[in-house]
Structure 1
Amino acid sequence: MQVKALIAALLFGLLPSASQATNLMYLPFETVLSNAIRAGRLDGSVRFYLAGNGPTEHLQVLRTNVVSDWPTNASNKSDFDACEWAVQSTLIELQAEAKRVGANAVTNIVSYYDQHVRKDLNTYECRAGVFVARVALRGDLVRVQ
């Protein structure tokens, strides 16, 4: 009986390191955005713009620095597929929050993994592991007039 307990303790001790999202990937934002709209996960009523892209004039800023951070199950998925699910979950949450406050766009989107800002005009950051993929985004909820 003690051997089983020792083996179980050893396995649980190893599990956190194996489950953490460790593979750093930079993936195309527009591709996953159009896939989410085409699949009906996003309804298209809210536009999404990475920092440096999108409108800069005629904006009414409703909320700044809104963060969405979604870990997603990566089991039995490629890193790319797991990251796509994670970023789509993040965008769905941002869309819901934008609608709640009356915004029609999310601008200045940056990757915000562990509260470190990474700006890129074309890609988002994802960390994928054996069991978990995670994407964190931060952006501003705005009404484009």
Structure 2
Amino acid sequence: MKRIILLALIMCASVVNVAYAADKKHVLSIAEAMQTEDFKASLNAGVKFYFGGQSFPTPVSQMGERVTNKKTNAFNKSDRQACEWVLLSALIALQDSAVAAGGNAVVNIESYYKRNVFSSEVEYECHTGTFIAGVALKGDVVRLP
């Protein structure tokens, strides 16, 4: 009986290790992701997103930096599909944070996976494993005129 329990524990530990063993970094197009129907239907048009060094009007007020770290189930999805889905989740979190603070934009958005900054106006960073995909973003919530 002890051997069966030990074998079951070893098998469970192996499954967990496989889930996190792969850690592939992807750098993908923000514009391509934001053209999908899911993005168009889910994001509030009243909240604007400015990535990397994109220019934006001078803010009327600033509400501070926000960080979001989202994960999603990547099982039975292509890496691109999983990354786009989790990017949407991260942007919704930033959007909700902006609205709650009275902001109407998130500026200076950077990828922030494992606290490593990747800043781009056109691309975001996503990591995929065997069963999980993740995107971390940080940006400043502001009120634009």
TM-score by length of 1: 0.89
SS of 1:59's equivalent in the other structure is coil
- Call closer, same or farther: CA 1:54–1:4 in 2, change over 3 Å: farther
Kindly report the root-mean-square deviation, in angstroms, between the aligned alpha carbons of the 2 structures: 1.6
Partner of residue 44, structure 2 = 43
Deviation sequence 1:57-104 (CA, Å, 0-9, x none): 421342332001101111111111111111100111111111111111
Contact 1:86/1:134 (<8 A) preserved: yes
For residues 124 and 72 of structure 1, the distance between their equivalents in structure 2, rounded to whole angstroms, comes to 16
Contact 1:37/1:43 (<8 A) preserved: no
Partner of residue 32, structure 2 = 31
Q: Report whether the alignment pairs 1:17 with 2:17.
A: yes
SS of 1:6's equivalent in the other structure is helix
Partner of residue 126, structure 2 = 126
Q: Which ranges in structure 2 are unaligned for 5 or more consecutive residues?
A: none
TM-score by length of 2: 0.89
For residues 35 and 107 of structure 2, the distance between their equivalents in structure 1, rounded to whole angstroms, comes to 17
Q: Which ranges in structure 1 are unaligned for 5 or more consecutive residues?
A: none
The letter of the residue matching 2:120 is D
